[in-house]
Amino acid sequence: MTDPAPSPNPRDAGNWAQPVDRLSTAGVQAGGMRLNVEGRHLTGPIRGFGQMWQKTYWVRLSGAAVTPQEVVKTWKAEFPNFWPRGNRFYGPLTGIQPGEVAVLNLAGPGGVTAPGGTPVIATGIMVIYADETSFSFMTPEGHILAGLITFSASEADGATVAQVQALIRTMDPLYELSFRLGVGHKTEDDFWQTTLRNLAARFGVDGQPQMRTSLVDPRLQWSQAKNVWHNAAIRTAFYLPVALLKKLFGRA
């Protein structure tokens, strides 16, 4: 038997966020519905309810003279610009860095929004890891997905490939139902494929995103069914009338 002696501080030390008890939106850009983030705990795939999926989406930036480092630098700097219409990302004032929090205002399934194009789900993410060729988000309580989403770029067969990889469970039984009906999966798949198409267009490439999906764990974690209490879609639905009135009277 060996006595393990932990290695000293490794070179990834500056790439990781510190553990946090609860999220704070203090460093987030102004605007949007800042609901379901402040004071929430981070979750991750361990704490989700639904089946665990690993979904990988990628696009080859064929013909673009751009390195993986340049792609990730641009992706971080212009992250909201690549999102599908109807979805808004209010990023950290300091940019995408480990430990920073962002507020998300998302459209519903099929891109559904409230009157005036107002998103219908307010939630957030925390940047848990970032380096020159990748960065990762984890989600707070109430988000649709309990998971880890990694954005990266690498070189393969003479071209730079941009990738999104999500290791996810749905957060609660209601979200799981939408995934079982296929609506959740389609929304998720469309979201990231559109993002990658927009990213490719940024580099002048008419990209054709690919995807690969695998079911990592078919079981449900019933002990996490209580997550429904924080369901961001339900809570946002109650808040939306207030948000619409604020918008109407110019106090958004």
Q: Which residues bind other proteins (CB under 8 A)?
A: 1-13, 15-20, 42-47, 52, 54, 128-129, 131, 134, 136, 138, 148, 150, 152, 154, 156, 165, 167, 216-217
CB of 169 to other proteins, least distance (A): 10
CB nearer to other proteins: give 105 or 188.
188
Name residue 117's amino acid.
G
Angstrom distance (rounded) from CA 42 to CA 207: 33
CB nearer to other proteins: give 107 or 196.
196
As given in the structure block, the two tokens for residue 25 are 């939106």
Angstrom distance (rounded) from CA 39 to CA 27: 14
CB of 243 to other proteins, least distance (A): 31
CB nearer to other proteins: give 169 or 202.
169
Segment holding 176, helix H or strand E: helix 173-180
CB nearer to other proteins: give 151 or 203.
151
Q: Which three-class secondary structure state does DSSP give residue 218?
A: coil
- Is residue 147 within 8 A of residue 217, CB to CB? The reply is no
How many CA atoms lie less than 13 Å away from 246 in the CB half-sphere?
Answer: 11
CB of 109 to other proteins, least distance (A): 26
CB of 222 to other proteins, least distance (A): 14
